Structure 1
Amino acid sequence: MHIVDRRLNPNSKSLENRQRFLRRAKAQVQEAVRNASSSRDLGDALEGGEVSIPSGGVREPRFRTTPGDVQDHILPGNKTFSEGDILPRPDQGGGRGGGAGNGDGEDAFRFVLTREEFLEIFLDDLELPDMAKRKLASAEREGLRRAGYQTSGSPTSMSITRTMQLAMVRRTALRRPSQSSLADLEQALADCADEDRRTALRAEIEAMQTRMKRIPFIDPIDVRYRHFEVEPKPVARAVMFCLMDVSGSMTEHMKDLAKRFYLLLYVFLTRRYKTVDVVFIRHTDKAEEVDEETFFRSPASGGTLVSSALAAMSKIVAERYPPADWNIYAAQASDGDNAHGDNQLAAQLLTESVLPVSQYFAYLEVGATSHMRQPMPDSPLWTLYERLQSEGAPLSMRRVEDRNEIFPVFRELFKKRDGQRVGAK
């Protein structure tokens, strides 16, 4: 079966050629998308728009002659040169010229990506780590499966074997004469010299031919077509816990960095996965599960007890997400401060309740913008998580201090990798 899509391309563009170009220049387009994402505000970062790649990345492959070969050129409208003249080199100018100063230059090829294309390229090489365990849940329609035969369908789905089997069964049941029996009678007629016997053989042959015409070799009731049914493909279920510190030690700049990270994470999860639940937990000295609107927009302030968020996550896991059935992930954002004496309880909750049931735990430490060269001292939480990571815990750690660091850090935390965990930075 051939399907011809005759829908008009948007804005009179060749959609097929556009997709072919994006596939051919995939590496350069991905790099351009990452650079464009880092330089935009979060509200505009995933909305598509103009990107540029080096013009060398859009060249079509072509055959070239080797040096020294004789080449003939036909120049229409030539009034200056004759055969055998040596053509001067053109001036170094235009798009590839060096312009002012020395050195070679190259124009950038600019084009516009739609929001769907931008998201597809940006999220192409990201995934939730170790998404393979636990029981499976049914997903949306994924494919087809064989479901027997039916009496109608497309000619391309006709089952020749099944049709011939049914035709043979029908012919046998109705005792249709075979071609070999007819051939034997015709041979006997040719060899017979007795006229009365020949008359009887002719009558028998005519009766056999008439019966064969009444019982065709293949009847429409014999034809069968392969039947397919839509089958949902099982996929693993997952839940992502978003733990955000909203205590008084978190400045507006720090909260803005954390919210940008979680917004990017939310877009990634809802775009790439169909069976992922997202649980929002924010905490000061006490934690609460909130909805998306409250998590991103509602103000809060107070002391800091990280253990409250970890205890809330453990409680929700025990009540709604059995570890035997769910892939459990967590992403925590904090400035690294914690109440004195709470680190021991937080470490106990992590090692005994959270990390044993988690596939992956990502910790993002947000800091104030600093132009100092020397590194800042490690925070209590960073020191705690670094120790747990050295003991083999499934967690990754990153620091950010500016908006343009959000996208690179996010990609490092959730990039595809083969069995290797991302270390602390």
Structure 2
Amino acid sequence: MNIIDRRLNPGSKSLENRQRFLRRAKTLVRDAVKKSSEARDIKDVLEGGEVSIPLDGMHEPRLRREGGIRDMVLPGNKKFVEGDVLPRSGQSGGKSREAGEGDSEDAFRFVLSRDEFVDIFLDDLELPDLAKRKLAEAEQETLRRAGYSVSGSPTNISISRTMRLAMARRVALRRPRPEAIAELEAEMRDCSEERRTEIVAELASLKSRMQRISYIDPIDIRYRRFESTPKPVAQAVMFCLMDVSGSMSEHMKDLAKRFYMLLYVFLTRRYRHVELVFIRHTDRAEEVDEDTFFHGPASGGTLVSSALEAMKEIVKSRYRPEDWNIYAAQASDGDNLYSDGDVTAALLKDFILPVTQFFAYLEVGEATGNPFDTSDSSLWALYQRLGSEGAPLSIRKVSSRGEIFPVFHELFQRRSKQEKVAP
């Protein structure tokens, strides 16, 4: 069934032209959305807003005739010669500059709604290697082709199948061909009177038979048939591991929460069957609900292995690795007890990384502005070593709010099957 929306557009607006414009300028709009989102709060991103794109990318497609010879008379000039760059005149939304000062930058500004902004921002993001499926709990249904039927909607008529059956029926019933009638009529012009009488009788018989046997009969019409069928739904779980120990400053916690808020919006917006497990830890780990994870106060020592151990027990009890796509995103300042390093490495190598499709580690830090401060934490060195050994692991550092969006896009951007996330 096809539904056609025939409602009138609002005054002085064309919804179809707007959607056509967004499709044509999708790449430019996507880049503008990502650029504008870097300086925004996550709540502001969810409300949409104004974006601007260069006018150079807004050329309308048009048809023009190429080739041939055209004679034109053009006036000459005394100011420019071949190869000179003409200065741009006028102001069309950008900064105008004098000749010789460089190129001006024109922009086209328009407002995106909340849904348009979020959809464009999340358009090329996905969970890596979403492969495992559990067919027993498929809840989503989809339409698939199921042959042909003799009744249905006119929009589902199969022209090729209908014409094939019509031709077979005409051949079986020996319907006269128009070419045969044309040959007899041509022969009748230069034949004898006796032969003419025979041709007239034969033509009358053929035309009568042609009228009785129609070119297309209702019994020839076939319609494409569709039926609902269960569609396997990929099940996935995302473990959010956040360090809330005393070494995490309020700035670091704010960066980590912003990352997880963006991850939460991405998963709930793009995927229907993705569960989220929130684990926060100090020297001990606990599974909490969403509100406690983002707003509940906590402090204490640091023991990273406690969060990994909690994730291990939850996977064993609720998420069978053969049926679930398991993902994990960890945010920490990189501090950990020296004695806990070997335990953390063993948990990662022996259980966590072998059962996960992808593990993202985000190390948050203070924005010191010191370019010579390049020291790595013990946790960063451990993850870097595991990533170099081929584990499904990617690590990033952030120290300011403006780095959250680019880093998030790097971790979850859509990739080909052969391409892997760079550690």
Question: Quick one: structure 1 residues 132 and 152, their matched pair in 2 at CA, closer, same or farther if it must change by over 3 Å?
Answer: closer
| Aligned with residue 355 of structure 1, among 353, 357, 369 | 353
Tell me, in whole angstroms, the C-alpha distance in 1 between the residues paired with 2:71 and 2:33.
44
Tell me the equivalent position of 2:243: 245
Residue 288 of structure 1, CA deviation:
1.0
**Counterpart residue number, 2:56:** 56
Contact residue 304 and residue 339 of structure 1 kept, 8 A: yes
- Asked whether the equivalents of residues 143 and 226 of structure 2 are also in contact (C-alpha less than 8 Å), the reply is no
For each residue in 1:70-113, what CA deviation from the matched residue of structure 2 results, as whole angstroms up to 9, or x when unmatched? 4599xxxxxxxxxx898999995312642598233132110111
Contact 1:240 1:329 in 2 (8 A): yes
Please state how far the C-alpha of 1:387 moved relative to its aligned partner: 1.3
CA offsets 1:349-378 (integer angstroms, 9 cap, x no match): 111111110010000000011111113311
How far apart, in 2, do the equivalents of 1:421 and 1:152 lie? Answer: 47
Q: Distance in 2 between matches of 1:58 and 1:153?
A: 40
1:107 aligns with 2:99: no
Deviation at 1:60, TM superposition (A): 1.7
Q: What does residue 39 of structure 1 align with?
A: 39
Q: Does residue 277 of structure 1 match 2:275? A: yes
What residue identity is the alignment partner of 2:283? D
Separation of aligned partners in 2, 1:376 and 1:234: 47
Residue 93 (str. 1) matches residue 89 (str. 2): yes
Tell me how far 1:118 sits from its aligned partner.
1.1
Instruction: Confirm whether residue 16 of structure 1 aligns to residue 12 of structure 2.
Output: no
SS at match of 1:95: coil
Name structure 2 gaps, 5 residues minimum.
Answer: 81-85, 176-211
The SS at the match of 1:94 is coil
Give the aligned partner of residue 422 of structure 1: 421
Instruction: Please state whether the residue corresponding to 1:236 is helix, strand or coil.
Output: coil
TM-score, normalised to structure 1, is: 0.77
Matched residue type, 1:104: D
Q: Which amino acid aligns with 2:367?
A: T
| SS in structure 2 at match of 1:17 | helix
Q: Give the drift of 1:340.
A: 2.7
Residue 207 of structure 1: aligned partner: none
What residue number does 1:119 align with?
118
- TM-aligned CA deviation for residue 291 of structure 1: 1.1
Structure 2 residue aligned with 1:198 = none
1:316-344 deviations in Å (ceiling 9; x for gaps) = 11111100001110000000011231111
Q: Distance in 2 between matches of 1:219 and 1:101?
A: 75
Instruction: Please state how far the C-alpha of 1:133 moved relative to its aligned partner.
Output: 3.1
The aligned counterpart of 2:392 is 394
- Give the % identical residues: 60
8 A Cα contact 2:358 2:392, kept in partner: yes
Conservation of the 8 A alpha-carbon contact between 1:125 and 1:415: yes
TM-score by length of 2: 0.77
The one of 412, 415, 419 aligned to 2:410: 412
Asked if the contact 1:95–1:105 (Cα under 8 Å) also holds between the matched residues in 2, the reply is no
Offset from partner CA, 1:211-245 (integer Å, 9 cap, x none): xx9xxxx9999987554222232232111111001
1:259–1:10 CA distance, 2 compared to 1 (3 A): farther
Q: Does 1:290 align with 2:288?
A: yes
Q: Deviations over 1:144-170 (max 9, x none)?
A: 331774756547447759999xx9xxx
Cα offset for 1:8? 3.1
Give RMSD over aligned pairs: 3.8
> Is the Cα contact below 8 Å between 2:145 and 2:224 reproduced in 1?
no
Task: Name the SS for the 2:361 alignment partner.
Answer: strand
2:316 pairs, out of 318, 321, 339, with 318
Distance 2:2 2:268 in 1: 33
Task: Specify the SS of the correspondent of 1:235.
Answer: coil
Looking at structure 1, the residues matched to 43 and 224 of structure 2 have their Cα atoms a distance apart, in angstroms, of 50
Q: Map of 1:301-316 to 2, 5 A cutoff?
A: 301-316=299-314
